[in-house]
Amino acid sequence: MKLGGVWYREALTETAFFSYKIKKLIYVGETRYQKVEVVDTYDYGKCLILDGKLQSSAKDEWVYHEALVHPLMVTHPNPRNILVIGGGEGAVLREVLKYDSVVSVVMVDLDREVIEISKKYLGEFCKNSFSNGKVKLVFSDGRKFLEKQPKESFDGIIVDATDPLEGGPSTLLYTKEFYSLVRSRLRKDGLMVTQATSIYHSPQCFSRIYKTVEAVFPVARAFKADVPAYSSAWGFVLGSKKYDPLKLNPKDVDRMLKERKIRNLKFYDGLTHQTMFILPKNLRKMLQKEKEIVKDSKPVFMAS
Ligand code: SAM
């Protein structure tokens, strides 16, 4: 094995890391909010890295983004107004815009520069989503933006924020106070979904985020997808005021995707929906045993 050259290295825990050999450094800089790197790697193609955490890789970003977006969109019978909190590289927008029922998508990201850098170097992730007439871009803290919105404004709220790192900009997007605010801004049958970190390397984050969403929403469901570039199965948590994704069988999901003319997915379909929501015994036990609810006064942090 040849270990020469330049390598990207990311901590999984305080005692484990993964590393990818870099073909080309495309962009390295620092915004007001975070360190930004765009690199081309041998195994995963172009990658966006924020504060030393890999956000998206060309090879499998579609797994993460389809998993985050489509269960919510399919579980809602007619999603029209969607809010994306975070979403930097624009791939969440790309997936949401596949639904003709959507009349508006507001994307609120803290960092204008991440969007500009993504447009310049990662056009294949966002396609033309930022220039779509249904999209409104707002540069602000997601929570502050939500506080100013009228109640019951959205059918779906998708939280695609960076991981909760100590001192990072997104820690207050994973707390009970935040999810209560999200709930109040959703219509009576609205749903929210959030990424919930690595199931195996930050299990406490995953189970606490689930427990916290469960404390706020009548329906809370944890699910997972394997994202090879993250070197882990990734966790997601969906909170709903009415509809339950577990009530959809594979045929229902496939029929709805067909009726809504969503044909070009690579990861998500009826069977994938079912398998994502079926967690193995050890994870079910872990979620059942979890007692801690994340609060503003006691946030949860992932290893950095
Ligand atoms: N796919 C990613 C992942 O989980 O690895 C997350 C994607 S996206 C690039 C994360 C975005 O969240 C970044 O563009 C960052 O600027 C934004 N963000 C972080 N904290 C935020 C906040 N408080 N309000 C709004 N956006 C925030």
- Mark the ranges of the chain whose per-residue pLDDT is less than 70: 1-2, 304
pLDDT at residue number 208? 97
Angle at 178 between CA 78 and CA 115, to 5 degrees: 70
Q: Tell me which residues have their CB closer than 6 angstroms to ligand 1.
A: 50, 55-56, 64, 85-89, 108-111, 114, 141-142, 160-162, 169-170, 173, 195
Which of 109, 130, 202 maximizes ligand 1 atoms within 8 Å of its Cβ, making it the mutation to test the pocket? 109
Q: Which of 115, 116, 158, 170 to mutate to test the pocket of ligand 1 (most atoms within 8 A of CB)?
A: 170
Atom of ligand 1 nearest to the CA of 56: 1
Helix H or strand E encompassing 213: helix 203-216
Cα 304 to ligand 1 centre (Å): 15
- The catalytically annotated residue of 160, 189, 244, 254 is 160
Task: Establish how many alpha carbons lie within 13 A of residue 24's alpha carbon, considering only the half-sphere containing its beta carbon.
Answer: 6
Q: Which two tokens stand for residue 256?
A: 């709805």
Distance (Å) from CA 86 to ligand 1 centroid:
4
Q: Which of 110, 157, 301 to mutate to test the pocket of ligand 1 (most atoms within 8 A of CB)?
A: 110
Closest residue to atom 15 of ligand 1, CA basis:
86
Helix (H) / strand (E) containing 180: helix 176-185
Q: Which atom of ligand 1 is nearest to the CA of 68?
A: 1
Residue 263 pLDDT:
87
Position in ligand 1 atom list of the atom nearest CA 115: 14
Q: From the CA of 281, how far away is ligand 1's center (Å)?
A: 31
Contact indicator for 81, 57 with CB cutoff of 8 Å: no
Residues 245 and 242: their CA atoms lie apart, in Å, by: 10
Half-sphere exposure of 126 (CA within 13 A, CB side): 22
Which of ligand 1's atoms lies nearest the C-alpha of 114?
A: 14
Which candidate, 193, 219, 234, 222, places its Cα nearest to that of 95?
193
Q: What is the pLDDT of residue 1?
A: 63
The answer to whether 160 is a known catalytic residue is yes
| Residue 302 DSSP code | B
